[in-house]
Amino acid sequence: MTALRVRGSVTGLRGELTVPGDKSISHRSIILGALAEGRTQISGFLDAADCRKTAQALVAMGVKIDNLGQDDMVVHGVGLRGLRDPGKPLDLGNSGTGMRLLMGVLAGQDFTTTLTGDESLRRRPMDRIAIPLGQMGIEVTGQGERCTPPVTVCGGQPEAITYHTPTASAQVKSAVLLAGLYAEGITTVIEPGPSRDHTERMLAACGAEITVDELQVSVIGSPKLRGAEIVVPGDISSAAFLLAAALLAPDSQVTVRNVLLNPTRTGLLDILQRMGGDVEVTDRRQVGSEERGDITARTSEPVATEVGGDEIPRMLDEVPILALVATQAKGQTVIRDAAELRVKESDRLATTAQVLQTFGGDVQERPDGLVITGPTRLHRATVNSYGDHRIAMTAVVAGLIAVGQSVVEDTVCIDTSFPGFADALAQLGSNISPDEAHND
């Protein structure tokens, strides 16, 4: 088990840096590159465990990828119908995004495939994908009522449908749209609220006929996708941890450059600014299908707020670090409509509450959210990440602002989304080191 020792009461975090490529866009870039005809050049790809698992699954189905993870990475597309039967189960590790999106792709193949993963992924429900694929005429079988992995997709000829998602979910929407590429006619997804729109942006850039009308997205089947040049921006979900550290540590100013600014992903920035956080966005620019820019955060005295409704899908991955900020905000912060977090790498509502309570935070768990009362003075603690990268990084930042030295156990999971996280914080002036007493 890998553990980190974090020296608390940090001050003077300062510097400019970049974060690894966006995880959501990296997954989609390699999948769409595989389904396109010709070469797809990808730079900025997130060279982390989850995205590598998606890449390895595609390689197992006959896709050639040059220089995986490097800036001159090239995917040699095989076209919509060019994937081959891998001949064995595809192991997606901890990658829920990879599994759900590939389920949509596999719906249109002429072979049957089983997808599995690690212990954590095998607990995550896939029924939200199996249900619409079933409506498209594709047989999907998994374990138990929630269709947990291993999951088997019997590929065939999907039927075009109009699907109303019960909750806003980019993964569900993406899986249905990807299956719709193989259907005859128009496949439509209608959501109750906004969700990440990377898939439809990238499909359009690759030549698919996509129409977007507010919460309704449609794709026409059997397009000829073409290879493209994709420049992946920095992951705003990763940047969030560095920005939060700068907001909470005295005498701090941190700039993260080249960060994704897609409006479906910038909910945390809006909320932090509403809480009185000194957060500034500069050098906004459009590169390819996505907007990006630089974000600077400075020491602030946040005030409490309420978060819910359509804001949640725009910052779902950032709820744990927002909860940490809320422990230092004046008043009672309420986060609601976030029950989706219970089926992530961990039950993130439960694990966020448990970790922050161990540090001394006043955090109460609710069925669909959290109630945090602040400000509270955090103290040193030894906590476990529960194998969840976002809980691990939240705990490290909590340790930075707590009094004393803290230990965060089981931090290898951070490499799922932010390789080099501890080094980035050290570059800004923090003191983080491996904890030998807890490391095997």
CA distance between the termini of the chain? 6
Neighbouring C-beta atoms of residue 358, cutoff 10 Å: 19
State the number of CA atoms in the 13 A half-sphere of 274 facing the CB.
14
Q: Which residue has the tokens 């080099």?
A: 420
Candidates 50, 197, 317, 388; catalytic one: 317
Identify whether the C-beta of residue 210 lies closer than 8 Å to the C-beta of residue 204: yes
Q: How far apart are CA 365 and CA 372, in angstroms?
A: 9
Q: Six-digit token pair at 235?
A: 């992951």
Contact between 336 and 379 under an 8 Å Cβ cutoff? The reply is no
Read off the DSSP letter of residue 292: E
DSSP string, 73-93: EEEEEE-TT-----SS-EE-T
CA distances from 17 to 49, 236, 299, 352 (A): 22, 13, 17, 27
CB 348 within 8 A of CB 388: yes
Q: Is 310 a catalytic residue?
A: no
Token pair 């030295």: residue: 405
So which residues are the catalytic ones? Answer: 317
